[in-house]
């Protein structure tokens, strides 16, 4: 039923049905009385034999073929009765059916807005009701989740309020819809009442035609005018529709029976009505073959309305045959439609199974314990995907729709409860971490201006290390405290570096000189005479040393200089040991640092290790010679071993000389 409270009885549909039945009984009695009054015609022109009068009365009292009740016809009548109240009702059947269940709240609002702007307000009720139901369900779920988070964060339930721009927009659209709908029905009420009065007047005038003393052709013309008026009389209340039509049809039948006095006019109308009804039957039989059952049913409604409202009766001998054909085509379409909805029910059952599976998966995810933020974020994404799958799974049978939705919400709520519990504990831990970091900030700020670099530098490095070990803090505080801590540390270390840069000014100047010296060394040309070239390289080494030490962070430049020397010494044709010792002496100069023997210690350990390795190699080769005790030394294999031993001994002498030089540095 439409939302027309002013057109319904307060007690509901049962009272409405009872009132309609009483009206039908009343009308039936009245029309029978009118039919009986035809037995005493008032003019001689209308006088006929008693047998003709009896035949007329019997035809009038006989129930018309079209009024036989069948379930498939009743369904058409019921739909047309609904459409009779509002002529635009048929438009609502042409609106595209959409799966609102699968839409987000934002999409639902967009659909609602589109319906309001593009469709008549009286045609969108079922769509709006479904959109509203889905929107409220989704918003209710979101509201419960936000409320639980609010309470978990320490809020008082009585203070909770939550809304969104989407919710406010939806409320505004629904308010506009209700306002427009109420205005429409207020205007419709007056129109329905006026149209009903007009139709009852038409019926009364048709009833009076058989008692009018005028030429039958004039009476027939008046009758046709009244029929045209009926067709254009407009919509009436649905609970009056079938009763009004039956009464109208009954008196039309009586009038046609009355026309037996002028059979030519009656037969001409009968033929015209028969031709039109046969065309309707042919179209109905075509629709019975159409696979689009909803479209076929909608057009069938129109055909039934034309059959009842636009066309009159046919000759008695054709009535049953054509009605049976029309009824059979109707039954075929009705049965196909019932089968379609049966298949739809099966699809809904399959959707229900799918949704039950999704709910079970949500329960499984909720039961799985997770102890890290990353794990919970992964679970949240999984639940969001399952929620979307649930909405995309399609409709379920109406009888289980609410129960399925409630079960789904309960499963999601159980997950959210565990999630909120985890994050509540995590927030407590984060606030503890926040306090720890605030303590470190205080230390940093208290010492950022200190000039006791020897004492404070290790402290500042330690609190930087401690900061990294502390876990996450609340997101809203994270950036703010980090910038505060970083600013204090940077302030101290900038001051420290400025102090050191001032103290190490000479070191940086030496670095600049050595960089330029190294660049110029690339262009050095050797004479090709070993003695002269050795002196040249020694002079370069002495010049390099005279440039002084460089900052610790720039010591890599010594390695670059040594590599350049290696390349130059490699080109000299002279004793390898002498070259190695010249290079090593230069290296020792670079390793030697005031008050810091760590580099020399490392080199000392390295040389000791190399001496041990070479001695081990020599011992191994000498042991291998024992296998050649009966072989002449001219043997190639023996010669190779002896040469290898000699090379290792030479290397050993170089490493031992390096060790002596190194010991002299201490």
- What are 622-646's pLDDT values in tens digits? 887 777 666 666 777 877 888 888 8
d(CA 613, CA 147): 75
**Is the separation of the CB atoms in 638 and 644 below 8 Å?**
no
For residue 57, pLDDT beyond 70? no
- CA neighbours closer than 13 Å in the CB half-sphere of residue 613: 8
Label residue 43 by pLDDT band (50, 70, 90): very low
- What are 4-32's pLDDT values in tens digits? 333 222 233 333 333 333 333 333 333 33
Max avg pLDDT among 37-46, 199-208, 517-526, 614-623: 199-208
Residue 97 is classified by DSSP as: P
Measured from the Cβ of residue 57, the count of other Cβ atoms closer than 10 Å reads 17
Give 73-94 as a 3 state SS string.
HHHHHHHHHHHHHCCCHHHHCC
- What are 141-169's pLDDT values in tens digits? 788 878 877 776 767 778 888 889 999 99
Residue 112 or 57, more confident: 112
Q: pTM, whole model, 2 decimals?
A: 0.44
What pLDDT is recorded for position 481?
93
Q: Give the percent of the chain with pLDDT over 70.
A: 82
Q: Dmax over Cα atoms in the chain, in whole Å?
A: 167
Q: Which domains does the chain have, with CATH numbers?
A: 5-39+48-262+292-313 (no CATH), 427-503 (no CATH), 527-591 (no CATH), 596-666 (1.10.287)
- Mean pLDDT (the chain) is 79
Taking the CA atoms of residue 467, residue 470, residue 476 and residue 480 in that order, the dihedral angle to the nearest 10 degrees is -10
* Inter-CA distances, 85 with 226, 240, 502, 622, Å: 21, 9, 98, 120
Label residue 190 by pLDDT band (50, 70, 90): confident
d(CA 532, CA 515): 25
Question: Which range has the worst mean pLDDT, 31-35, 184-188, 589-593?
Answer: 31-35
Instruction: Tell me how many degrees the CA angle 426-428-431 measures, rounded to the nearest 5.
Output: 110
Residue 420's contacts (CB-CB under 8 Å, 6 or more residues apart) are: 148, 149, 152
- What are 61-85's pLDDT values in tens digits? 334 445 444 667 666 666 666 665 6
What pLDDT is recorded for position 87?
53
DSSP string, 417-468: HHHHHHHHHHHHHHHHHHHHHHHHHHHHHHHTT---HHHHHHHHHHHHHHHH
């Amino acid at each position: 039923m439409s939302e027309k409270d002013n057109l319904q009885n307060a007690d509901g549909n049962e009272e409405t049905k009872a009132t309609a039945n009483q009206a039908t009984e009343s009308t039936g009695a009245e029309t029978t009385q009118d039919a009986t009054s035809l037995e005493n015609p008032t003019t001689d022109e209308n006088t006929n034999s008693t047998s003709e009068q009896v035949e007329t009365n019997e035809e009038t009292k006989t129930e018309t073929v079209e009024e036989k009740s069948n379930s498939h016809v009743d369904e058409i009548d019921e739909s047309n009765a609904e459409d009779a109240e509002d002529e635009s009702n048929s438009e609502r059947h042409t609106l595209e059916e959409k799966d609102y269940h699968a839409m987000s709240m934002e999409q639902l609002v967009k659909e609602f807005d589109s319906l309001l702007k593009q469709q008549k307000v009286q045609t969108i009720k079922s769509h709006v009701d479904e959109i509203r139901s889905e929107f409220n369900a989704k918003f209710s779920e979101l509201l419960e989740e936000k409320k639980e988070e609010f309470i978990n964060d320490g809020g008082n339930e009585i203070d909770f309020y939550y809304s969104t721009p989407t919710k406010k927009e939806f409320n505004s659209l629904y308010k506009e819809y209700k306002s427009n709908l109420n205005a429409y029905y207020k205007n419709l009420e007056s129109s329905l009442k006026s149209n009903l009065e007009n139709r009852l007047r038409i019926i009364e005038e048709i009833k009076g035609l058989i008692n009018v003393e005028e030429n039958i052709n004039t009476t027939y013309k008046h009758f046709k005018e009244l029929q045209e008026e009926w067709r254009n009389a407009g919509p009436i209340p649905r609970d009056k529709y079938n009763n009004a039509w039956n009464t109208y049809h009954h008196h039309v039948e009586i009038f046609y029976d009355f026309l037996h006095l002028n059979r030519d006019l009656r037969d001409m109308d009968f033929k015209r009505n028969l031709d039109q009804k046969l065309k309707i039957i042919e179209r109905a039989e075509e629709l019975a073959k159409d696979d689009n059952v909803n479209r076929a049913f909608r057009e069938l409604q129109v055909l039934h309305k034309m059959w009842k409202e636009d066309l009159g009766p046919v000759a008695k001998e054709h009535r049953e045959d054509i009605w049976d054909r029309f009824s059979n085509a109707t039954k075929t379409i009705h049965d196909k439609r019932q089968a379609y909805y049966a298949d739809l029910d099966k699809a809904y059952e399959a959707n229900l199974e799918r949704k039950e599976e999704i709910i079970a998966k949500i329960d499984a995810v909720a039961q799985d314990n997770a102890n890290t933020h990353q794990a919970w974020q992964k679970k949240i994404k999984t639940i969001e995907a399952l929620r979307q799958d649930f909405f995309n799974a399609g409709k379920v049978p109406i009888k289980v729709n609410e129960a399925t939705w409630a079960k789904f919400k309960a499963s999601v709520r159980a997950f959210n409860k565990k999630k909120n519990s985890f994050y509540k504990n995590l927030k407590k831990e984060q606030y503890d971490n926040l306090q720890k970091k605030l303590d470190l900030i205080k230390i940093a700020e208290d010492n950022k201006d200190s000039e006791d670099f020897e004492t404070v530098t290790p402290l500042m490095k330690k609190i930087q290390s401690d900061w990294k070990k502390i876990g996450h803090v609340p997101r809203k505080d994270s950036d703010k405290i980090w910038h505060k801590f970083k600013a204090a540390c940077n302030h101290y270390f900038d001051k420290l570096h400025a102090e050191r840069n001032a103290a190490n000014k000479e070191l940086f100047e030496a670095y600049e000189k050595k960089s330029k010296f190294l660049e110029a060394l690339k262009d050095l040309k050797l004479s090709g005479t070993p003695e002269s070239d050795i002196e040249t390289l020694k002079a370069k080494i002495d010049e390099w040393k005279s440039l002084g030490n460089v900052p610790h962070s720039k010591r890599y430049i010594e390695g670059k200089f040594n590599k350049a020397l290696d390349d130059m010494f490699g080109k000299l044709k002279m004793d390898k040991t002498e070259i190695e010792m010249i290079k090593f002496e230069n290296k020792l100069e670079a390793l030697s640092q005031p008050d810091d023997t760590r580099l020399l210690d490392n080199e000392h350990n390295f040389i000791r290790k190399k001496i041990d390795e070479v001695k081990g190699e020599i011992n191994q080769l000498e042991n291998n010679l024992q296998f050649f005790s009966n072989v002449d030394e001219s043997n190639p294999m023996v010669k190779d071993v002896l040469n290898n031993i000699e090379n290792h001994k030479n290397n050993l002498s170089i490493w031992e000389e390096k060790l002596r030089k190194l010991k002299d540095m201490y």
